[in-house]
Chain A
Amino acid sequence: MSRLARAVLLTLLVIWPFAAHAQKDSVTIGQTLEPPTLDPTTGAAQAIREVTYLNIYEGLLRIDRDGKLQPLLAESWTVSPDNLTYTFRLRRGVKFHDGSDFDAADVKFTFERAMAPDSTNAQKWIFAPIARIETPDRYTVVITLKEPTGNFLYGLAWGDAVIFAPETVAENRTKPIGTGPYRFERWVRGDRVELVRNDAYWARIPAISRATFRFISDPQAQVAAIRAGDVDALSNLAAQEAADQLKNDANLKVVVGNTEGETILAINNAKPPFNDVRVRRAIAHAIDRMAVIDGAVSGYGTPIGTHFSPNHPAYVDLTGTYPYDPARARALLAEAGHPNGFNATLRLPPPPYARRSGEIIAAQLAQVGIKVSIEPIEFAQWLDQVFRNKNYDLTIIAHTEPLDIGIYARDDYYFQYRNPAFNALMAKIGTTMDEAERNRLYGEAQRMLTTDAVNVFLFQLPKIGVWNVNLTGMWENWPLPANPIAELSWKR
Chain B
Amino acid sequence: MLALLVRRVIGLVLTLLAAAVVVFVVMEVLPGDPAAVMLGVQATPETLAALRTELGLDRPAPVRFATWIIDLLQGDLGISYTYRVPVAGLIAERLTITVPLALLSIALSTAIALPLGILAAARHDRPADAGIMVFSQIGVAVPNFWFALLLVLLFSVTLGWLPSGGFPGWQAGIGAAFAALALPAISLALPQAAILARVTRSAVLDALGEDYVRTARAKGLTRAATLRRHVLRNALIPVVTIMGLQFSFLLAGAIIIENVFYLPGLGRLVFQAIAQRDLIVVRDIVLLLAAMVIFINFAVDVLYTLIDPRLRGQRT
Which residues of A are interface residues toward B (Cβ below 8 A)? Answer: 3-4, 7-8, 10-12, 14-15, 34, 36-37, 42-45, 117-125, 173-174, 188-192, 214-218, 220-221, 224-225, 227-230, 350, 378-381, 383-385, 387-388, 399, 401, 404, 407
Contacts and interface: CB of A to CB of B under 8 A. Distances in A.
Contacts of B176: 11, 14-15
Given A118-B50, A227-B157, A399 B175 contact: no
B50 A117 contact: yes
B260 A220 contact: yes
Interface stretch (B6-14, B123-131, B159-167): B159-167
Interface in B136-175: 149, 152-153, 156-157, 160-167, 169, 173-175
Contacts of A3: 178
Contacts of A34: 272
A10 B175 contact: yes
B42 A44 contact: yes
A228 B47 contact: no
A7 B40 contact: no
B275 interface: yes
Interface in B186-215: none
Interface in B9-53: 30-34, 36-44, 46-47, 50-51, 53
Most buried by B among A123, A189, A385, A401: A189
Contacts of B277: 380
Contact of B46 (A43, A117, A399): A117
Interface string B256-291: 000111111100110010011100000000000000
B158 to A, nearest CB: 9
Interface residues of B, number: 61
A215 B261 CA distance: 11
Given A8-B178, A37-B84, A224-B152, A119 B41 contact: no
Contact of B47 (A124, A218, A221): A124
A4 B43 CA distance: 51
B265 A190 contact: yes
B307 interface: no
5 contacts: A121-B47, A191-B167, A218-B262, A228-B164, A388-B36
A173 B85 CA distance: 9
Contacts of A188: 93, 167, 169, 264
B76 interface: no
Contacts of B160: 228-229
A44 B41 contact: yes
Contacts of B276: 36, 380
B94 interface: yes
The 6 lowest CB-CB distance pairs between A and B, nearest first, are: A190-B264, A44-B40, A380-B32, A7-B178, A10-B175, A36-B82
A189 B83 contact: yes
Nearest to B36: A383
B105 to A, nearest CB: 12
Contacts of A192: 166
Nearest to B261: A221
Given A190-B265, A224-B165, A230-B164, 13 more contacts: A7-B175, A10-B175, A43-B82, A122-B47, A173-B83, A188-B167, A191-B262, A221-B152, A224-B153, A228-B164, A230-B165, A230-B166, A350-B275
